[in-house]
C-alpha cells in the first residue's frame, strides 16, 4: 500500500510539472506575439483577479443549483466544450512551434480539440481526463500568468487559497460540488490511480486513504484548479524574474507542498492553501537569492 501511495503522489507531482512546462512554453509564445507586455499591466491584472473570483463563485452557485435540479448532464456538456476551447488555444500555440506546413497545422489545431470533444463526451476514462486536464490547466496558467502580472498573481494566490479553505472547511459547498460532478462524470479532477485497472465508477472523494483494503480510495483526486492556479504564479514569477530560478524554485515549492498535503491530510482537503503557499515561498527564495547575488 505504501509503494502504491508513493507512486500516485509522484504521478500527481509529474502532472504539476508537465502542466508547468507546457504553460511556460505557451506563455513565452503568447508574449512573443503580443505587441505590448501585458504581464506589466498591473491595473488590468487586479481587474482580472476580481473577475476570476466572481466567476468562480458564480460557477459554484450554478453547479449547486443545477445539481439539485438533477440537470448536471447539460452542465457537463457546457463544461467539456469550455475545456475543448482552451485545448484549441493550447494546441494552436504549440503546433505553431513545430516545423509543419499550414495544411498540417490547421488539421492538427482543429483536429486535436475535436478528438478531445469526442473522447470526453463518449469515451471518457482517467487517462483522457488527465491529458485534457493538463492541457486545460497549462492553457489557463499561461493565459492568466501573462495577463495578470506578478503582483496581481500574488493577490490571486492568496485570494483563492482563502476561498478554497472556506469552501471546503466552512461552507463545505466545494465538497458538494465535488460529489455532484464526480457522480455525473464531469471532468473536474485529475485522477491518479494506484493501478491501471482503475474505473471511473470507483472515483469517490469521500473514501479515506487509510491503508485498509476495503476503504482505500484507489486513486488520488485533485482538482484542475489545484494545478492551474499555483502554476499561474510559477509562470508569472518567471516572466518577472527572467531566470531559471524564478521558474524552478516556485515549481519546487509547489511540488514540496503537494507532498506535505498528501502526507498529513487523510480526508478531502483544500489544496490551494498548501500549494499556493509553497509556490509563494519558492518565489520568495528566488527574490532573496537575487538580492544576495
Q: Which of 115, 119, 165 is nearest to 277 (CA)?
A: 165
How much is the pTM? Answer: 0.89
Span 78-103, mean pLDDT? Answer: 92
What confidence score (pLDDT) does residue 4 get?
59
What confidence score (pLDDT) does residue 292 get?
87
pLDDT at 124 over 70: yes
Q: How far is CA 237 from CA 14, 127, 157, in A?
A: 20, 30, 12
| Count of domains forming the chain | 1
pLDDT in tens, 21-56: 999 999 999 887 765 554 455 566 778 888 888 988
Tell me the pLDDT band of 17, cut-offs 50, 70 and 90. very high
Identify whether the C-beta of residue 26 lies closer than 8 Å to the C-beta of residue 90: yes
| Residue 232: domain span | 2-292
User: How many C-beta atoms lie closer than 10 Å to residue 276's C-beta?
Assistant: 27
The residue written with cell numbers 486513504 in the block is 209
The residue written with cell numbers 502504491 in the block is 4
Q: How far is CA 122 from CA 84, 161, 203, 260, in A?
A: 14, 34, 18, 36
Query: Of 43-47, 94-98, 210-214, 219-223, where does mean pLDDT reach its minimum?
Result: 210-214
HSE (CB half, 13 Å, CA atoms) of 42? Answer: 5
pLDDT in tens, 166-185: 998 888 888 888 887 777 77
Amino acid at each position: 500500500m505504501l509503494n502504491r501511495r508513493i507512486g500516485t503522489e509522484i504521478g500527481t507531482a509529474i502532472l504539476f510539472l508537465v502542466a508547468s512546462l507546457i504553460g511556460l512554453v505557451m506563455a513565452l509564445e503568447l508574449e512573443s506575439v503580443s505587441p505590448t507586455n501585458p504581464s506589466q499591466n498591473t491595473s488590468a491584472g487586479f481587474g482580472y483577479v476580481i473577475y476570476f473570483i466572481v466567476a468562480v463563485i458564480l460557477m459554484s452557485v450554478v453547479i449547486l443549483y443545477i445539481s439539485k435540479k438533477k440537470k448536471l448532464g447539460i452542465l457537463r456538456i457546457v463544461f467539456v466544450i469550455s475545456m475543448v476551447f482552451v485545448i484549441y488555444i493550447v494546441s494552436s500555440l504549440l503546433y505553431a512551434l513545430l516545423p509543419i506546413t499550414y495544411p498540417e497545422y490547421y488539421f492538427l489545431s482543429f483536429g486535436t480539440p475535436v478528438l478531445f470533444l469526442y473522447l470526453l463526451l463518449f469515451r471518457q476514462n482517467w487517462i483522457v481526463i488527465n491529458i485534457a486536464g493538463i492541457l486545460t490547466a497549462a492553457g489557463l496558467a499561461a493565459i492568466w500568468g501573462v495577463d495578470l502580472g506578478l503582483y496581481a498573481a500574488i493577490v490571486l494566490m492568496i485570494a483563492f487559497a482563502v476561498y478554497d479553505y472556506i469552501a471546503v472547511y466552512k461552507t463545505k459547498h466545494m465538497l458538494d460540488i465535488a460529489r455532484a460532478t464526480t457522480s455525473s462524470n464531469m471532468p473536474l479532477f485529475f485522477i491518479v490511480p494506484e493501478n491501471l485497472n482503475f474505473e471511473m465508477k470507483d472515483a469517490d472523494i469521500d473514501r479515506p486513504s487509510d491503508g485498509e483494503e476495503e476503504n482505500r480510495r484507489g486513486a488520488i483526486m485533485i482538482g484542475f484548479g489545484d494545478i492551474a492556479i499555483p502554476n499561474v504564479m510559477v509562470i508569472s514569477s518567471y516572466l518577472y524574474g527572467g531566470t531559471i530560478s524564478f521558474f524552478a524554485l516556485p515549481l519546487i515549492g509547489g511540488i514540496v507542498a503537494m507532498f506535505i498535503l498528501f502526507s498529513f491530510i487523510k480526508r478531502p482537503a483544500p489544496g490551494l492553501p498548501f500549494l499556493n503557499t509553497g509556490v509563494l515561498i519558492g518565489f520568495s527564495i528566488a527574490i532573496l537569492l537575487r538580492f544576495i547575488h
